[in-house]
Structure 1
Amino acid sequence: MPHYQSICDSKVALHPNPIGVVEFYGGQFFGQLPVGSYEYLLQCLYDAGYTLIVVPYQFSTDHWEVARSLLRKRDCVRQKFPELKDVPHFWVGHSLGCKLIALLEASTTSDNKFQPPQIHRLSEDAGLTGILDQPSLLLAPTLPDNDDLIPVGFIGDIMDKLNIGIKPTRPETRALIEKSGMFNLTGIISFASDDTAGHVGSPEDKDVPWLIKHFSEPDHKLVQKQLPGGHLTPTGNEVLGYVISTEIVAGFLILPDIEKPPRELEPLAISLLEKLINRLPESKRAKRK
């Protein structure tokens, strides 16, 4: 059972013999209370040998600033626990949380600097390192735009005119990903009934099929699997021997989904992380005691 400490504006569970550090960032609703909302997934990651940095969702339309905050929290935790110095870092996101991880990857240079586009760059960025050689696992990834935040078109237009809309937009985010030479340590798990992020077979206006198509190019070496379930399948708590998660019905109604553990998701996620670990150079893998 992970014991969480409040450190660096995050919930941190230190594994006694970690094979890696997972920094987790969830969706905009359930991610606000991530330890409770994703309890079963996080428990399984901890049991598999990962120290956890669980970052509560920060509501902001400036996703560049949120991305920076994830780097700051990573560095803050590692400074407080020098024993993690040689333990590899991993990123696991769900839904909108995956966009923030994708922004970090797309803004990482070959010499591991964090370098957003010039228009979004701040002086403090010079002191931040990127996520080179830090694998990421994206669960039902979305790259949301104003229309996803407020599905009324003219309101999104007004937000952009007032310079309070989402930055970067979906087209801008996709363009950054296309230009990036990174994303060669990326895994995606999609869900067959996910109408929010999409799934294998969805049209490419959905983010999952677009990402899979782009990352399927040979230089990316995508690790990808699809499971039964919907957009909220990664959520869930174990209660009285059952995992109770939530599900979207009819596009908006959220109902409980009850499964007997183990679910398919957690063993698959751990397996994909293992594959990504094995892609790291031997010198960058944690040595188990």
Structure 2
Amino acid sequence: MEWQEISGSSVLVPRYPIAVIHFLGGAFVGTAPNFTYRCLLEELAKEGYAIIATPFINTFDHLGIARNVLNRFEGILERLQTNTALGQGYLPIYGIGHSMGCKLHLLIGSLFSVERAGNILISFNNYPVKKAIPFLEQLEIEQYLNLEFTPSPDDTKLIIKQDYQIRRNLLIKFTQDNIDETTVLKPILDEKYPTLVALQTLSGNHLTPLSQEIKWETGEVFTPLDAVGQWVKQTLSRDLYRLKDEILRWLNPGRM
């Protein structure tokens, strides 16, 4: 099972897929999801989930980005259904987003007609421009240029409240994540689908989904540096695999 590039997206299709995941990463790191989120996505693929990871370039037009990644996803899915095992029967489709990727999935699920068995929203972030772009708030440029994302954070919340159509949702936040806004999102979704929204708080931080396998080879003599390296490896791996297990448990409770 190897990554393929199709229409600019990264695709990983297991031999016997049981579902499809449309993955959208965070701003900037979402430009190459098969590298930045490689470990997490490959672990999900090993469990039978076909991955379509759509990269995007961040602009102020978040609605335009949402429309673009959805169009690309649907074109790739149609192609895969024609040429691969994805076309051998019905497969549920799930959205997984991290940080800004959550906002994009929420816009897609609110403003476009899509079929989704559910969404997994990790470390939701809906900051305004002055907080999202480093140093902009200190420079006070936005008050002169009137810069803001489209839709704005307030408009995004209103759109979700009025139009979000995806009933089943898993929200994940991390204990050491100081830019997460999941606690703002959950009451909005609870009001729409009170019995179908789950929240899990896991150990880790905003970058946990990007963690990679660290290969730390010790020498003939185990040194204090080796001890630190092993501790870092175990900590990162532990948090990442807990995230993976929680995702799999929610996707298919009967398999865990």
Query: Normalized against structure 1, the TM-score is what?
Result: 0.73
Question: RMSD of the alignment, in Å?
Answer: 2.4
Q: Greater share of strand residues, 1 or 2?
A: 1
Pair 1:133–1:22, CA change in 2 (3 A) = closer
- Are 1:183 and 1:215, in contact at CA under 8 Å, matched by a contact in 2? no
Deviations 1:105-162 (A, max 9, x none): 121xxxxxx2xxxxxxxxxxxxxxx2233411011111232123334173223343xx
**Match of 2:251?**
273
Corresponding residue for residue 103 of structure 2: 99
Closer, same or farther: CA 152–136 of 1 in aligned 2, 3 Å: same
Alpha-carbon distance change, 276 to 171 in structure 1, aligned in 2, over 3 angstroms: farther
% identical aligned pairs: 25
Q: Judging changes above 3 Å, is the alpha-carbon distance between structure 1 residues 216 and 10 closer, same or farther for their aligned structure 2 residues?
A: same
Does 2:5 align with 1:16?
no
- What is the CA–CA distance in structure 1 between the aligned matches of 2:254 and 2:122, rounded to whole Å? 15
Larger radius of gyration, structure 1 or 2?
2
Name the counterpart of 1:231.
206
CA change 1:58–1:184 in 2 (3 A) is: same
Give structure 1 stretches of 5+ with no counterpart. 108-113, 115-129, 198-206, 243-255, 278-289
Q: CA deviation at 1:104?
A: 0.7
C-alpha distance in 1, partners of 2:216/2:201?
25
Give the superposition deviation at 1:183: 3.5
Moved more, 45-54 or 151-160: 151-160
Q: 1:88 and 1:183, CA in 2 relative to 1: closer, same or farther beyond 3 A?
A: closer
Q: What is the match of residue 155 of structure 1?
A: 141
For these two proteins, the number of residue pairs brought into alignment is: 230
What is aligned with 1:88?
92
Q: Where in structure 2 are there 5+ consecutive unaligned residues?
A: 218-230
Q: Which amino acid aligns with 1:52?
A: I
Distance 1:23 1:159 in 2: 35
Q: Which runs of 4+ in 1 moved over 6 A?
A: none
Answer whether contact 1:36 1:237 (CA < 8 A) is retained: no
Q: CA deviation at 1:42?
A: 0.6
